[in-house]
Structure formats: structure tokens, C-alpha cells
A and B are shown apart, each in its own frame.
Chain A
């Protein structure tokens, strides 16, 4: 029932009394940063009509209904000198760890989603969504295979006049490693550990699709619904997002954009870990 804050010398993140991430403080300045999980219900279409196919492996086609997962999140807080964590439980099938390491200037989100319940006969596509007060004016950036960041404008294409019939999926773009938005003063970037779909459907908000479980084929050739089952249940997916938030300051060294690239190198080209049984060795022998 109380606000909770974790952090380090670079930043603090706070969670409101409902258990949701609510703000981030960088250099003494507090800004809105809310995160939650929502899901889209999948469209059951008519595969005989090419423009009305079901949401499936090839097509992301929500039926227009967006559902929130919960109004309150259970929290557990772990504090220490190396890492501070908040363990969040959103529902029986969505949980997350929000983590701040002592010497890192980003926030790590380790989400776990699944098995997605489909007993109601409705496929679901789950997204992690971040909300800020950034005045992004419909503009956001997604990367192109980990290389250039491409400028995307909501409900717009550069070379033709666009009349979007599907307002959600029509604004989704592939995100291989990074999605970002900014205004003149602040910037938010989310790095992902695997290719995902992402968008900014409102000014100041970013979202990435983390998991989906669908019950109908979309008639594009796979001939089965995207309904992965493990041990007779739906698949559980676990992964990470890394969030960088900060003031846009061209004089800062490194700039926030440069920090994103350094972090990309660090998390996407990680060290290789090897383990050895040292039961038969004294430390001095090993040394």
C-alpha cells in the first residue's frame, strides 16, 4: 500500500501503491514512467475473404479489443549492494522482475508470460507498454536489423496518402534490437533481447509484443494456428527489456543515444559463460 523505490547512484524508479512502475528519477529530476501489460484479443476472421483473415502466425490482427491484465500488482522488494529488484506478479500467467544494478544507468525488465489462457476461446497477444510524458507528436524510431534507426510516423507513410483501416497493426513495425521516442528534452529507448513487434500508439508511449497464443490459422500457408503447447499447456516465454531514459543533452558525454549503442553491444553480444567443477581443486592450485 506504500510507494516503493529502488535505485542506484544514477537513477531511481518508483512503484505506486497499486504496484505499477510509476516514475523514474534521473539527476534529481523525476519523470513519469509507467509500465504495464495489456493484451489484444485476436480477430476470428473469414479466411475465404483475403481482407478478413484471422489473426495468425503471419498476421497480427486484433479484433479491436484491448484488455488490461490487472489493476493491482503484487510486489516483493529485494535490496542489496549489487542489485536491487522488485518482483511483480500481475496475474497467474504474467510476472516480471524490475532490476537496477549498482553500476548501470539503465533499468532491466525480465518478464515472464504464459501459459496464455484460452479457455474463453479467444486468442491473445500480450504487449508490455511504457508510458511517459514525452511529447513525441506521433514520431518514434525502430531499428533496422540492429543498424540504422528508422523514423516512423503514426498513421503515415512517406510516399503515399494513408487511410489505415487497422489502426493498431497498421502502426506496428519490426523491432530487432531497439525502439525509441523523444521530444526536445527527453528520450526513452527500450532494447529487446529478441526480435519483436513494436509501436507507439499514443504520444509518449512505446509497446513491444512479448507473447501471443492464437487459436485459428490465418490461411497464409502454415495450416495450423500459432498455439504452441509445452507439456500440454501453452508456452511460457521469458525475456528481457532494457530501458534507458534521460535528458536529451548534446553536450553530455556520452549522449543518451551513445549509451544506447554501448548497451546494445553489451547485452546483445554478451560474454560467453563457462562453468567448471572445482571440487577437486584448492583455490591456490586453480590460481
Chain B
């Protein structure tokens, strides 16, 4: 409940006419963005908890929660789960640290409407070959599309992604969810050699497959 209240309070503030129309001073606009970001982050604890109640019990157990550095004292720490569902709030600038850095990840779509739906999913990636499978182990047709050059050139996007993976998520149940398993594929010897060749030559092999840090300065939040 306290997590939800953070967003309730933020939305209360955002009903001011300046927040609706954008006629607030710039530093107030920045503060509104900060409040909303914090509130949406707090509510992610709730969505995470609910999604974990839906998944298999063996992944449901929560781990010990620790207060996050800099967290608001009135907001309880978020529970940690073995199978964590996280959001990517920077998808609108074609950035998602998880999909860019992991070789295997899942995408879960929750449909908040009371009728079935579909959506073309777009996620930023760094590889060349990916396999998308649904829960029935059926491979879903997917396409890799380059991120437009003007977007890639944005100096403060802090992303290594040069492409987006696009696929159709269909038959999304009303008020329900559907998940897809995405794995990066190295499907030919030629690709394998190319893949290895693109890694730094120095260092142990285990280090080579670790996702490299995105180089994002810690001062940006």
C-alpha cells in the first residue's frame, strides 16, 4: 500500500494545471519528472509481486529485502525475487540495459484491457541473431531492424544497441499475460567465428562472454 501511495500522491500533484499543460517553470518540470519516476519505480514493487504470484511456485520465494541506497524512509524496501520482472522506462529512446546485455531474457506482456489484443514488440539489442519462442515452444517470426542513425547519434542515450528486435505478440488474453523467451543465437560456424572475433582478444574466455558495462556515467539517474 505505501508503494501505491507514492504514485497516488504524485498524481495528486500532477493534477495542477501547470503540470497538465506544461506551463510550469523548468525546474518545476524537472521536479515533476523526478516525482513521477520515483513513484512509478515504487509501484513496480507491486507489479513484480503480483507477477511472481502468477509464476511457478519454485520461483515465487522472495529473497531477503535490503533497503536501497537513498530510498525514501517511508517506503519499504522492495522484495527481491529469484525471477525478477523489471520495466524499461527508456524504451522510448531505444534503450534497455537488460535486453542489450543479456543473451537470454524473457518479455512478458500484461494486457490491461478487457478484450484480447496484440502488439508488435520492439526491444533494443546488440546481437545479430535471436530466437523468440512462446510458451508452447513455438518459434515466433522476428525481424531485426536497425535503429535510425539520428537516434544512434544522440550523445546522451548511453546505449550500445544498434538494432531493435521486432516480433508480433498476439492473442494476448484480456486482463492476463503472455511471455516470450528470447535467446541470442549463434547458428553457424561462420557466425561463431565472427562472434568470437568481435570480442577483445585479451582476457580469459569467460570474461569475453560477460556483457560489457555500458559505460554509463554514474552521475546520470
Contacts and interface: CB of A to CB of B under 8 A. Distances in A.
A166 interface: no
A228 B99 contact: no
Contact of B148 (A80, A95, A102): A95
Contacts, number: 144
A271 B112 contact: yes
Contacts of B181: 278, 283, 286-287
A82 B168 CA distance: 8
Contacts of B123: 275
B151 A112 contact: yes
A104 B170 CA distance: 12
B32 interface: no
B2 interface: no
B85 interface: yes
A58 interface: yes
A57 interface: yes
A274 to B, nearest CB: 4
Contacts of A228: 26, 29
Q: Chain B at the A interface: mostly helix, strand, loop or mixed?
A: mixed
A54 to B, nearest CB: 14
B25 A222 contact: yes
A282 to B, nearest CB: 9
B211 to A, nearest CB: 9
Contacts of A276: 83-86, 98, 105-106, 108
A78 B163 CA distance: 12
Given A97-B148, A275-B88, A278-B106, A269 B133 contact: no
B25 A278 contact: no
A162 interface: no
Given A228-B26, A271-B112, A275-B87, A81 B143 contact: yes
Interface string A216-239: 000011111010111100001010
B22 interface: yes
A28 interface: no
A275 B143 contact: no
Interface string A51-84: 0000001100000000000000000101011110
A208 B51 CA distance: 39
A230 B156 contact: yes
Contacts of B156: 230-231
A278 B23 CA distance: 44
B218 interface: no
Contact of A275 (B22, B23, B107, B110): B107
B98 A275 contact: yes
A80 B104 contact: no
A273 B102 CA distance: 17
Contacts of B137: 283, 287
B108 A274 contact: yes
Q: Which of B29, B96, B146, B148 has the most CB of A within 10 A?
A: B148
Given A58-B23, A228-B26, A275 B142 contact: no
A101 interface: yes
A103 interface: yes
Interface stretch (B3-11, B67-75, B114-122, B200-208): B114-122
Contacts of B198: none
Nearest to A228: B26
Interface in A257-287: 265-266, 269-279, 281, 283, 286-287
A91 to B, nearest CB: 10
A218 to B, nearest CB: 10
Contact of B107 (A78, A97, A101, A274): A274
A278 B172 CA distance: 21
Interface of A: 57-58, 76, 78, 80-83, 85, 87, 89, 95, 97, 101-104, 112, 220-224, 226, 228-231, 236, 238, 265-266, 269-279, 281, 283, 286-287
25 contacts: A57-B23, A58-B23, A81-B141, A81-B143, A87-B149, A101-B120, A103-B118, A112-B151, A222-B23, A226-B22, A230-B156, A238-B93, A266-B117, A270-B119, A271-B117, A272-B110, A274-B110, A275-B87, A275-B98, A276-B106, A278-B181, A278-B183, A279-B103, A283-B137, A283-B183
